[in-house]
Amino acid sequence: MLTPEKLQDISVKWVEKNLAFGPQDSVVVKDCMFDESTSMNHCYLMKQSYGLDIVNSMAQLTLSASGNVLAHGNCWIKPESNSPIVKRDNSITCQQAIESAAKSLNITKTNAESWKVFTNDKSVTVLDIDFVVGNATCHEALYKTESSLKHIWSVVFNTDAQYLNLMVDISNGNILGAADWNSHFDYTSEGRLKIRAPTGNFEYRALPLGALNPRNKPPVIITNPADTTVSLQGWHDPGAAILTTSGNNVIVSDNRAGLADVKKASAAGKQAKGAGSVFDFAMDDTTQEPSEYISASMTNVFFLANAFHDIFYHYGFTEATGNFQKNNFNKGGAGGDPVLAFVQDGSGKNNANFATPPDGQSGILRLFVFTNTNPNRDGAMENSIVLHELTHGVSSRLTGGKRQGNCLSTLISGGLGEGWSDAIAIALELGHSATRGDNVALGEYVTGNSQRGIRSFPYSTNLGDNPLKYSNLNSRKEVHAIGEVWAVMLYELYWNLVDQFGFDDDFVRTSTGNGGNTRFLKLLITGMKLQPCFPNFVNARDAILAADKQLYKSENACLIWAAFSKRGLGAQALGNSFVDDSTVPANCEQELRLDNDSSKACTTCLAFSRALLLF
């Protein structure tokens, strides 16, 4: 195995040789790690100019154990001839940048005179801001707009409703771009997880994968589901006198008070308490309001989030790649970042969201009550909602590496993120008896709409039931609407693989099976690691093809092409022009290489989505 230093050296030399640099430019390695699930190395690099990071100019390399470059992708900025560096006496301060950000959020009055400021080289930390949860940080950097390279403050803060990274022009306070680390669910076989357990029996009344929701199948007792080969301490805090819905992977609390501050919400929120190691709470959603069965809801989320952790550990979402754990057991990554899940969160309704800051900071899952039915229904009791949100944490941490939080922040890449979340939530719930002819309505329980759920169409391989194709992106300008197009393409791929290779019942315990459902998850997770920051549809498709080449020697290439070409993303489709193409390579083989043409790649990554701001 190559040393980290050698990996970095190889990566820097490859980038310096193959990508464009000006005399003032350099490159810095942000992260390099070995992926045990594939025996591949991944390195993530950022371009610098005048000694400052260009925050939207990145490259990703995948290398073999011996250091050969297997795949590469980038969003690389061409050299700039003019210096964007603003002299200090002409620049705004970090505090002024934060005030500009506040104005863009329609916050017109702040307690700026009470802020506490701490400066360290090129970064600033500001405390005691009245509209911010925790603190705010500013980092001096550069940012490429469509017209020029700008000197900026990269400002990060959490308002609860939005966990923002804003690019603020250091010369005048203008907001040039923004990324919201919060992702939302919407815009307006049973018992498979019976795995080895820690000492003693642990029981949870919950909805097993495939149960969908309480109206489809009621919660059942699931015994000893923790996979202690990957959750080394089990699911609960070791040594706790009273077991609750708290452990190394996730801490589940209620937040009916709607507290914005995560620390305060965690301290004030109640966790479900077990009777010893038994979490058995009754519910009746036909007569009870969600508040009457909140312990049942918390138990379901605790079960699902832990099961999700264990499943995707086998598929390569580990400590080294940025998963969510308090204790990383010296296996890489930052640690200290379990998922903080808030059930029946009072800060909203009819939705759910997941915030994914960089590695070392907890993912924040908020699940709301839905008011579309009588009685109201709890989003925590529809498995697909919880699984959808948890998948945001995976796609955000794996795309561009665990230390970046912005790589799915453009309109198209954000849409891809929504699509992965829908597709993986569906794949985890489809059982052995499901068929290609089945239509899936995501969110049918909370909406009361069994035909299409919360989306425009049901997910279906029938073009009559779901007509979405690549060209529909021309009229879809919102991330969830875009995500529906990507997700239905992935739904086609799922069924192509399952029809060809069958279904692995044991896919939750191991990724070594040969079934189509196992292949599907492996291709998606590995593809996320191979694609560049700010991917478009072509980048994401090609990353799946590249993953197939590395994992299966392109055995699935024809099935992959068939799925995407059916929905307009054929071999001649372009990343930035949404015209349907049904072309399939004659021999289903081609040079599987991620786009490294800067002039093409960077048109999708010049500006973070401004639509995420409340102007």
* Active-site annotation, residues: 389
| Helix 479-501 with 557-566: angle, nearest 10 deg | 140
List C-alpha distances in Å: 373 to 195, 369, 446, 448. 36, 11, 7, 7
| CA 414 remoteness from chain centre | 9
289 assigned binding-site residue = no
Helices (H), 448-572: 479-501, 516-530, 537-552, 557-566
418 assigned binding-site residue = yes
CA angle, corner 328, sides to 60 and 255, nearest 5? 100
Cα–Cα distance, 408 to 48 (Å, whole number)? 21
Query: Dmax over Cα atoms in the chain, in whole Å?
Result: 70
| CA 614 remoteness from chain centre | 22
Q: Which residue has the tokens 């297997």?
A: 70
Handedness of CA 551, 554, 556, 559 (dihedral sign): positive
Q: Look at residue 313 and give its three-state secondary structure.
A: helix
Cα–Cα distance, 173 to 466 (Å, whole number)? 45
The DSSP-derived string for 328-375 is: -TTSSS-----EEEEET-TT-BS-EEEE-PSTTS--EEEE-EE-SSSS
Cα–Cα distance, 158 to 173 (Å, whole number)? 19
190 assigned binding-site residue = yes
Backbone φ and ψ of 149, nearest 5°: -90, 130
Residue ranges at the known binding site = 190, 388, 392, 418
Residue ranges at the known binding site for Zn(2+) = 190, 388, 392, 418
